[in-house]
Amino acid sequence: MAQTFSRGPVSGTAVKQDGKRKPFLLDLYSTAVGKKYVMAITGILLLGFVIAHMVGNLKLYQGRTGPGVYAMDEYAVWLKNLLYPAFPESGVLWLMRSGLIVAVLLHIHAAYGLTIINRKARSVKYQSSRDYEVANFASRTMRWTGIIVALFVVWHLADFTFGWVNPNFISGEVHLSVVASFQRVPVSIFYIVANIALGIHLFHGVWSLFQSMGWNNPRFNVWRRYLATAIATVIVVGNVSFPIAVLAGIIDHPAA
């Protein structure tokens, strides 16, 4: 006779007082393992955005594509018209932005939840081998680099998306607005520092997501280090190059 098996709860708090069981995903998320999964998955999504954002910003180096027309502005128009007219103008763009906002909030909430869990748990070393010499500094500064990156994102939106902190912001003129902003030395310095913090955060994030997802293997730890280093380096160098290039006059200036 065939037997049926029911899934047991993931955590000890899965069954509420009224006898009803929590949904599986909520039950899983209440555990440290579940929060690590969320951290890793949202981290991968955000990493993909950071890479795509940097690649798109390379259009700044193309400068003008015609009289008064910049490659960066054409790229911005292309983003607004993604899948148009199937979707309204900027519709897909705002869907992606909404998804990123959700990913950021989940990433922060999971990180906070893990911090609380770790504080309550007794101090026990990881049972699996882990190269702490590689990720020690980055791991110890994850909270602070995360805060710096979060503040940077807020400033970035206020600077380039809404123009609240950029007196020379021109709606629809992305290239000129970016150049005008980076011509302010304190702003460029802030962007450079923030992107270095982003690189440190990404290094440990890429390194640890393999462990969080269960993809780690001691034989591949060296390759994990190379991958984390390469991704963080490419993103930092690419993003930092923009304010430096503007200050050095390499990127086309509004008055040029």
In angstroms, rounded to a whole number, what is the distance separating the alpha carbons of residues 66 and 253?
15
Residue 99 lies in a domain: yes
Say if residue 73's pLDDT is above 80. Answer: yes
Say if residue 127's pLDDT is above 50. Answer: no
Cα dist from 45 to 51, 204, 206, 221, whole Å: 10, 16, 12, 22
| pLDDT for position 6 | 54
Region 203-226 average pLDDT: 81
Say if residue 139's pLDDT is above 90. Answer: no
Span 177-210, pLDDT tens digits: 999 999 999 999 999 999 999 999 999 888 888 8
| pLDDT for position 9 | 64
Cα dist from 183 to 224, 248, 254, whole Å: 38, 9, 11
Cα dist from 203 to 115, 135, 227, 235, whole Å: 19, 8, 9, 10
Cα dist from 208 to 193, 215, 232, whole Å: 23, 10, 13
Residue 9 lies in a domain: no
The amino acid present at 233, given as its one-letter code, is T
pLDDT band of residue 15 (cuts 50, 70, 90) is low
CATH number at residue 65: 1.20.1300.10
pLDDT band of residue 46 (cuts 50, 70, 90) is very high
Q: Which domain holds residue 48?
A: 35-119+132-247
Residue with structure tokens 């997802």? 213
User: What H or E segment, with its residue span, contains residue 204?
Assistant: helix 185-212
Total domain count, the chain = 1
Do the beta carbons of residue 138 and residue 200 sit within 8 Å? yes
| pLDDT for position 131 | 47
Residue 74 lies in a domain: yes
